[in-house]
Amino acid sequence: MAKTEGEIIIKKYANRRLYNTGTSTYVTLEDLAKMVKKGEEFVVQDAKTGEDITHSVLTQIIFEQESKTGNTLLPISFLRQLISYYGDQMQMVVPTFLEHSMKAFADQQAQMREQMTRAFGDTPLGKNLQVPMQMMEEQVRRNTEMFRQAMQMFSPFTAQPPQPAAKKADSKDIDELKEQLRNLQNRLDNL
């Protein structure tokens, strides 16, 4: 696909066809997936209303990739946990946490590739060498554990039954809550 100057706008029509206004061509979800992999930024708009529907189209691409390949990227346990946060007080924290986690993962992956290139140079082995699966799995485990720990810090808030209005929390409880919030903020800052 030809890259255009400025923002790439994809129009989605009622017949579900997607039109790249930059290249004046119809595109498929597969074409959009390739654009994402190349790092091309685009916005998908409903052709009739002009509404930004990028989120739903990207979600549709993920759904198709997951069902098409058989190599699922999102484990069932992760999907269940993610679904459980909808409508929960954690819903506002999760997107930022996931975004930071994915950025950290991508940065670490780039560092590993750079180290492999330095170690093996311009040899055929160096050009074809993929990041060892064990290293990636270990990083995923660490990220998942950090996510689990961060989410677990909020479980005391949801696990306690509501207190009667007449009974006030003593200052010790409030101090403990403040400390937990400070710890969470420090962990998020470190991510």
For residues 84 and 142, state if they share a domain: yes
Please give the angle made by the CA atoms of 116, 113 and 69, to the nearest 5 degrees.
125
What pLDDT, on the 0 to 100 scale, is given for residue 3? 45
What pLDDT, on the 0 to 100 scale, is given for residue 2? 42
Q: Quick one: which of 108, 107, 82, 105 has its CA closest to 95?
A: 82
Answer with the residue of higher pLDDT: 156 or 62.
Answer: 62
For residues 152 and 176, state if they share a domain: yes
The pLDDT of 153-165, averaged and rounded, is 50
Cut 0.75: pTM above it: no
What is the C-alpha to C-alpha distance for residues 74 and 59, in angstroms, rounded to an integer?
12
For residues 154 and 184, state if they share a domain: yes
pLDDT confidence tier of residue 1, bands split at 50, 70 and 90 = very low
For residues 98 and 124, state if they share a domain: yes
- Average pLDDT taken over every residue of the chain: 77
The DSSP symbol for 51 reads: -
Q: Is residue 3 part of a domain?
A: no
